[in-house]
Every structure is written in C-alpha cells, then in structure tokens.
C-alpha cells in the first residue's frame, strides 16, 4: 500500500470520526437549557488540529463539519435557516481551538485534558465579548457581566470537551495501535 493510500485512509477515518461525534448534536435531543454547551464541537476542533498532518485539512474539515451541523441544528431544532447571530466569533474560537490542537505533537491524557480546558477558556473569553449587546452594560462592565453569566455554560463545555476528547482521542490512539495504516509514516527525503 502506498504512502498516499495510507494517508487517505487515515484522513478518511479521522473525518468519519468527527462526523459521528458532531452528529450527536443533531441526533441527541438537547433542547434542555441545562445541557447547553455540552457538545463535541470543541473536542472535534482539538482532534482535527492534533491529527491532520495537512494544516489546511486540520482547519477546514473540523470547521466544515461544525458549519454543517450548525445549519442542521438550526433548521431541525429551531426552524431557522442559516447561522445564528454572532456565529463568526464562535467560529473564530473554534479556529483557535484547532490551533491549540496542532500544538499537541504527542498525544497524552495530560495534554488532551489541558488543551480541552484551555480551549474552553479561549471560548469563554472571546465569545462573551458583548459587541453592542443590549443584554449587558456597555464596555468592560458588560463584558464581565457576560463572563459571569456564561460560567455555567462554559462548565458544561469543559465536560463536553473532556468526554468527547476522551472518546475521539482514545478511540483513535487505540485504533492506531491495531491498524498501522492509521499511523503517520515518516517522510523519506
């Protein structure tokens, strides 16, 4: 089997794993506010960043899977076509999360846990910028109000990141030990 075929199989498996994880957003009923932000999206971004060797795939594929799932969730659960207001900042945070995943050179439990928590902190700090929101006071006061209100949601996001990261990273690492085609082969120059 050629190196190109091995890479294609590896990339296909990575992509299928991301699609399955993100499908839980559409298939599992989560209309309860108590579960808001308990999703696989952060873990999928970390996973793509950590495992795709082509950086354009590391960014494009997780963000594409998330975009499609957002469109499906908005349509199937909220009868809305398109994205939610402020989606650009959320996608920016997931691009940063992919970057955090690219920093994981050798997967370990400690690195994945740390990356999962850092990704949530980045999400919390960036997505809660109020940008003209009428819900909070203007300026830093409103920003800190928004951060405070978001704490329960971000706590659920940490648990979602940890659970889905454990499933994605754990399953892929286990599969790599059994199927050598999933391992990255060193380049011979």
- Mind listing the pLDDT tens digit for each residue in 85-100? 778 888 999 999 999 9
User: Does the pLDDT of residue 167 top 90, yes or no?
Assistant: yes
Q: 36, 91, 87: which is closest to 63 by C-alpha? A: 91
**Predicted TM-score of the model (pTM):** 0.87
Question: Would you say residue 102 has pLDDT above 60?
Answer: yes
Lowest mean pLDDT segment, chosen from 14-18, 36-40, 177-181, 182-186: 182-186
User: pLDDT by residue (tens digit) across 126-149?
Assistant: 887 755 566 777 778 888 888 888
């Amino acid at each position: 089997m050629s190196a190109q075929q091995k890479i294609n199989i590896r990339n296909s498996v990575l992509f299928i794993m991301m699609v399955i994880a993100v499908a839980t957003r559409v298939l599992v009923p989560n209309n309860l506010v108590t579960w808001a932000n308990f999703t696989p999206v952060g873990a999928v971004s970390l996973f793509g960043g950590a495992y795709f060797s082509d950086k354009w795939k590391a960014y494009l594929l997780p963000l594409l899977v998330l975009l499609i799932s957002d469109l499906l969730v908005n349509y199937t659960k909220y009868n809305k076509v398109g994205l939610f207001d402020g989606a650009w900042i959320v996608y920016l945070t997931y691009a940063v999360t992919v970057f955090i995943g690219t920093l994981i050179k050798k997967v370990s439990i400690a690195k994945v846990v740390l990356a999962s928590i850092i990704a949530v902190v980045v999400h919390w700090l960036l997505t809660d910028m109020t940008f003209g929101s009428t819900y909070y006071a203007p300026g830093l006061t409103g920003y800190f109000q928004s951060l405070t209100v978001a704490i329960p949601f971000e706590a659920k996001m940490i648990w979602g990141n940890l659970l889905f990261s454990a499933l994605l990273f754990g399953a892929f690492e286990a599969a790599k030990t059994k199927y050598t085609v999933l391992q990255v082969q060193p380049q011979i120059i």
